[in-house]
Amino acid sequence: MRQDILGIPQQFALGYELARAIKSRRVNPQSVIIYGMGGSALPGELLQLFAKSLSLKKPIYINRDYELPPYADKKDMHIFISYSGNTEETLSAYKEARRQAFPHMIIIASGGTLMADAQKNGITAVLVPGGIQPRMALGYQFAALLGVLERMGIIATQQDMITRLAKTLNSKILEKEGKKLAKKFNDKILTFYAPDEYRALAYILKIQMNENGKTHAFLNTIPEMQHNELMAARDNKPIQPVILNPLTHGTWKRRVAIIKSLLPQAHTIDINNKNIYNGVFATLTLGNWISYYTALNNNIDPSPVHLVEALKKELA
């Protein structure tokens, strides 16, 4: 897994170019619906986070279910993401969308039943590289998602951003900090706090601790947490509050300062908001390192997810 984390910066350019190579026409959907589970739903979470920066004014929905959402219709853009191409819930929703002959459908997968069916039935598809854990393929999948939206005229070109992100995101430098924090957080249950617009970031960090670190983690948003969870965090010794700090306006800075004075054990991870893409993906890469070394510190292999795979096998 260490090589997968080190290779994250290289995923963006390849995923983006693979998507830009598809044949498609410009569309003007009433909304964008992302279908996916687990790591394959995370590109949709990030798309919601970056919507303002992308000037994406269409509503963005994420569907994690076997069925189409009740609001789905032929005027929407339907994007089905399954890294393996065999995700049961995503396949089920895709088959129903194809049965209803939805005109705007895109597949992003590394193969599997979903890709085979799309290619057989002439559904536009982006084939991303396989061979790694789905949660480690976020760079491929998110960049492919941007490339698809660009090709369809839903967002402007992202070429400069993708190029800059691939050049400036340094996973090796972040490894040292992640290893240090994993040691500091040893035997703690991390609870991530972020402003509401960065909730997706806290959610992904939580998932990294679950899947890579094989440990519990939780999240909440600020200011919501100050109305309830603040009371539970102060003297709860196993809990390690981690504040994701985008360094924004003065009101936010003051709020964080007060929370830290009330929770002196809280750790702050600053997010570079001058370049939101680099700031978010640097934080996600740091989270991968924290969760990776959390597992190693407990003599656990961070890669396999045996219980998840066992459940999928029983359901198949």
Q: How far is it, in rounded angstroms, from Cα 167 to Cα 169? A: 6
Centre a 10 Å sphere on the Cβ of residue 167 and count the other Cβ atoms it contains: 12
Is the predicted pLDDT of residue 188 greater than 80, yes or no? yes
Is the predicted pLDDT of residue 170 greater than 70, yes or no? yes
Tell whether domain 2-165 is in CATH 3.40.50.10490.
Answer: yes
Is the predicted pLDDT of residue 178 greater than 90, yes or no? yes
> Reading across the β-sheet that carries 77-82, which strands appear in turn?
60-63, 32-35, 77-82, 105-109, 124-127
Tell me whether residue 264 is exposed, middle or buried, using C-beta atoms within 10 angstroms of its C-beta: 0 to 12, 13 to 18, 19 or more: exposed
Domain locations in the chain as residue ranges: 2-165, 169-297
Q: Both tokens of residue 98?
A: 């194809």
Tell me whether residue 10 is exposed, middle or buried, using C-beta atoms within 10 angstroms of its C-beta: 0 to 12, 13 to 18, 19 or more: middle
- In this prediction, what percent of the chain has a pLDDT beyond 70? 100
What is the tens place of the pLDDT at every residue in 120-136? 999 999 999 999 999 99
Centre a 10 Å sphere on the Cβ of residue 37 and count the other Cβ atoms it contains: 18
Query: Do the beta carbons of residue 145 and residue 138 sit within 8 Å?
Result: no
What is the tens place of the pLDDT at every residue in 6-34? 999 999 999 999 999 998 889 999 999 99
Confidence of residue 241 (pLDDT cuts 50, 70, 90): very high
What 3-state DSSP class applies to 211?
A: helix
How far are the Cα atoms of 38, 141, 195, 212, 314 from residue 311, in angstroms, in the given order? 13, 24, 34, 18, 5
What is the tens place of the pLDDT at every residue in 243-281? 999 977 678 888 999 999 999 999 999 998 778 999 999
Residues 6+ apart with CB under 8 A from 152: 24, 25, 26, 27, 77, 104
Q: What is the pLDDT of residue 249?
A: 67
Q: What is the pLDDT of residue 250?
A: 74
Q: What is the pLDDT of residue 252?
A: 87
- For residues 230-240, average pLDDT: 85
> Thinking of the domain 169-297, which architecture would CATH place it in?
3-Layer(aba) Sandwich (3.40)
Q: What phi-psi label fits residue 59: left (phi over 0), alpha (psi between -120 and 50 degrees) or beta?
A: beta
Q: What is the pLDDT of residue 236?
A: 72
Is the predicted pLDDT of residue 235 greater than 80, yes or no? no
- For residues 67-81, average pLDDT: 97
* 2-165 and 169-297 in the same fold: yes
- For residues 37-57, average pLDDT: 95
- Residue 35's nearest CA partner among 76, 64, 71 is 64
Q: Both tokens of residue 162?
A: 């993708």
